[in-house]
């Protein structure tokens, strides 16, 4: 799909694509095909891993992101090679939330409970200050909700230093695992080995003021922040 061509139907009403690379082959029963599952994982994650190909070899790097409807925005310095590459070539973006370790009766069946989204596509470089601002706002609000209207907005010089790329959420795979281990019947019958899930949780600690901050109350948008936990 051309990044600038209008979609015949809004993406949000289409199911996730099933191109060969976005079709889940291993653990099909864990694949989610509705778009809301993709949004849920992307919105719950904080950092993504962006993979690009440089000189024929893969390079994967963690980076921030933000979402506006069916567009994923990534930003970075105008000098960053990974983002320069991402703006011209195919990329793959992974967001992974680990919800627990699955302890089985046999080591072969140990697993993880997780929510995972992988997006494929060829991003376009955002060229207008208007959309660059939309993209940056999405990234900042994703990382720190309520902060765009609270902190100082970027000036022209800062905007010029920032590169923003936009990736359509057209081709993606979502995989979610939850619940118990899947053990061999013989091992269940044999008994004597604990099996179940050790949940992993994320939580925010107490805000730590910067050393150079004059006495100032922690603002509400920060104080009230909640970690998005799995709905299962």
114 binds its own copies (CB under 8 A): yes
Residue with tokens 């996730």: 16
Choose, by CB under 8 A, the member of 7, 10, 34, 53 that binds its own copies.
Answer: 53
Rounded to 5 degrees, what are φ and ψ at 149?
A: -80, -10
- Nearer to its own copies by Cβ, of 5 and 157: the residue is 157
- Nearer to its own copies by Cβ, of 12 and 190: the residue is 190
Cβ contacts of residue 202 below 8 Å, gap of 6+?
227, 229
62 binds its own copies (CB under 8 A): yes
77 binds its own copies (CB under 8 A): yes
Please tell me the distance from the alpha carbon of residue 68 to that of residue 20, in angstroms, as a whole number.
26
219 binds its own copies (CB under 8 A): yes
Nearest distance from C-beta of residue 13 to its own copies, angstroms: 27
Nearest distance from C-beta of residue 193 to its own copies, angstroms: 6
**Residues 1-20 contacting its own copies, CB under 8 A:** none
129 binds its own copies (CB under 8 A): no
And the tokens for 128? Answer: 């207008």
Nearest distance from C-beta of residue 198 to its own copies, angstroms: 5
And the tokens for 227? Answer: 């970690």
* Cα–Cα–Cα angle for 8, 73, 66, rounded to 5 degrees: 110
Nearest distance from C-beta of residue 170 to its own copies, angstroms: 14
The residue range among 9-17, 65-73, 123-131, 211-219 that interacts with its own copies, by the rule CB under 8 A, is: 211-219
The residue range among 9-17, 31-39, 123-131, 150-158 that interacts with its own copies, by the rule CB under 8 A, is: 150-158
Give the contact letters, 83-112, x = binds to its own copies (CB under 8 A), - = no: ------xxxxxx-x-x-xx-xxxxxx-x-x
Residue 174 in contact with residue 16, Cβ under 8 Å? yes
147 binds its own copies (CB under 8 A): yes
Residue with tokens 């061509």: 5
64 binds its own copies (CB under 8 A): yes
* Cα–Cα–Cα angle for 102, 99, 218, rounded to 5 degrees: 150
User: Would you state the torsion angle of the CA atoms of residues 171, 95, 148, 68, taken in this order, to the nearest 10 degrees?
Assistant: 20
Please tell me the distance from the alpha carbon of residue 155 to that of residue 88, in angstroms, as a whole number.
27
Please tell me the distance from the alpha carbon of residue 45 to that of residue 116, in angstroms, as a whole number.
9
**Residues 160-199 contacting its own copies, CB under 8 A:** 162, 180-181, 183, 187-188, 191-199
């Amino acid at each position: 799909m051309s990044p600038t061509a209008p979609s015949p139907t809004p993406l949000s009403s289409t199911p996730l694509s099933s191109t060969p690379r976005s079709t889940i082959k291993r653990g099909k029963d864990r694949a989610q095909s509705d778009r809301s599952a993709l949004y849920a994982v992307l919105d719950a994650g904080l950092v993504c891993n962006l993979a690009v190909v440089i000189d024929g070899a893969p390079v994967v790097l963690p980076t921030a992101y933000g979402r506006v409807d069916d567009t994923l925005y990534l930003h970075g310095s105008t000098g960053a090679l990974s983002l320069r590459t991402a703006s011209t070539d195919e990329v793959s973006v992974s967001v992974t939330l680990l919800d627990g370790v699955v302890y089985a009766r046999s080591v072969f069946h140990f697993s993880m409970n997780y929510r995972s989204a992988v997006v494929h596509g060829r991003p376009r470089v955002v060229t207008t200050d208007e959309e660059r601002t939309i993209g940056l706002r999405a990234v900042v609000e994703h990382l720190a909700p309520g902060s765009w209207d609270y902190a100082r907005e970027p000036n022209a010089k800062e905007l010029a230093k920032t590169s923003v790329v936009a990736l359509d959420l057209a081709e993606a795979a979502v995989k979610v695992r939850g619940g118990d281990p899947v053990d061999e019947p013989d091992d269940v019958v044999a008994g004597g080995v604990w099996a179940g899930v050790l949940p992993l949780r994320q939580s925010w600690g107490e805000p730590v003021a910067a050393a150079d901050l004059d006495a100032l109350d922690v603002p509400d948008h920060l104080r009230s922040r909640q970690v998005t936990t799995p709905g299962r």
